[in-house]
Amino acid sequence: MKRIVFLASVLTAMLVGIAVAPAWSFDRKAPPMPQKAGVVEAAGIRALLTQPEDVIRTHPVWDILKWHSDKERLAGVKPYAHLRHYGNLLTTVGATYIWQKVTVTGGPPQTMDAAHTRLLSDNSATAATAGDTNSSATAGAANQFWQQASSVTLSTSTATIVGTFGSSDGNFAWQSLGIEVGANATASSAAVSAGGILMTHKVVSSGTKSSPASWQLTVTVQLGP
């Protein structure tokens, strides 16, 4: 009898062990798998590539207000059209000008003020390139016009340049725009000034101007990230 009881106890213990063991094993937490070196390196690279950087960009906005005549504009009549373009190409000579102003070398170059800044409009749709130093249009007032700025203002990181093309100026299809600064950029004309720097060049269709229309071009350039 004692042998039977002993065997029964052993069998019961085995049955209990079988029943309890799975539950106990599920409660255990498996040790974390070791992370491979490649995974750690990849994570480090991703973190490095996503770090913020100090990037300075130009954010130019070109606004063109259109009136049927100088008379309407001067009378304060609301313009019949308003075009807005974004972006432009900073030319090589324009970038050089900026660095010369910052480092006070090579002159220093002429300050960009209303007396020495002009706005370009021409009828050439030739793609702008960094090497541009002049209008791509055929010479002459029928194809290009460099309008003396009426104002150049600076507010914090934003420069605003305004020029008005009166009834007799810039009468052709406007296909590109630009900003010129220079010691001799002192009056409106149909050609780039001697030594003038074409800072920026923007190729974009803005419609056809014809007399007696009066168009005002405002360029707002902001420096920032």
Q: Residue 64 in contact with residue 217, Cβ under 8 Å?
A: yes
Residue 206 has pLDDT above 80, yes or no: yes
Q: Which residue has the higher pLDDT, 55 or 214?
A: 214
Q: How many residues does the chain have?
A: 225
Q: Please, which pLDDT band fits residue 156 given cuts at 50, 70 and 90?
A: confident
- Host H or E run for residue 120: strand 117-122
pLDDT digits (tens, 9 = 90+) for 14-35: 333 333 333 333 334 445 555 5
Lowest mean pLDDT among 33-42, 69-78, 212-221: 33-42
What's residue 173's pLDDT?
Answer: 98
Return the HEC string of 10-68.
HHHHHHHHHHHHHHHHHHCCCCCCCCCHHHHHHHHHHHHHCCCCCCCEEEEEEEEEEEC
Say how far apart CA 154 and CA 85 lie, in whole Å. 20
Amino acid identity at 140: G
Q: Which residue has the higher pLDDT, 8 or 95?
A: 95
Lowest mean pLDDT among 5-19, 118-132, 191-205: 5-19
Highest mean pLDDT among 9-13, 28-32, 146-150: 146-150
Q: Which residues of 18-31 are buried (b: 16+ CB within 10 A; e: fewer)?
A: eeeeeeeeeeeeee
Q: Compute the average pLDDT of residues 46-54.
A: 59
Decide: residue 12, CB within 10 A, 0-12 exposed, 13-18 middle, 19+ buried: exposed
- Sorted by where each begins, the domain ranges of the chain are 2-49, 57-224
Task: Give 172-218 as a DSSP string.
Answer: SEEEEEEEEE-TT--S-BSSPPTT-EEEEEEEEEEEE--TT-EEEEE
pLDDT digits (tens, 9 = 90+) for 84-117: 999 999 999 999 998 888 887 777 689 999 999 9
Say how far apart CA 121 and CA 178 lie, in whole Å. 7
Mean pLDDT, the chain, rounded, equals 83
Cα-atom radius of gyration of the chain, to the nearest Å?
36
Lowest mean pLDDT among 34-38, 99-103, 221-225: 34-38
Q: Please, which pLDDT band fits residue 225 given cuts at 50, 70 and 90?
A: confident
What residues are paired with 66 via a beta bridge? Answer: 81, 215
What's residue 50's pLDDT?
Answer: 60
Q: Which residue has the higher pLDDT, 105 or 191?
A: 191
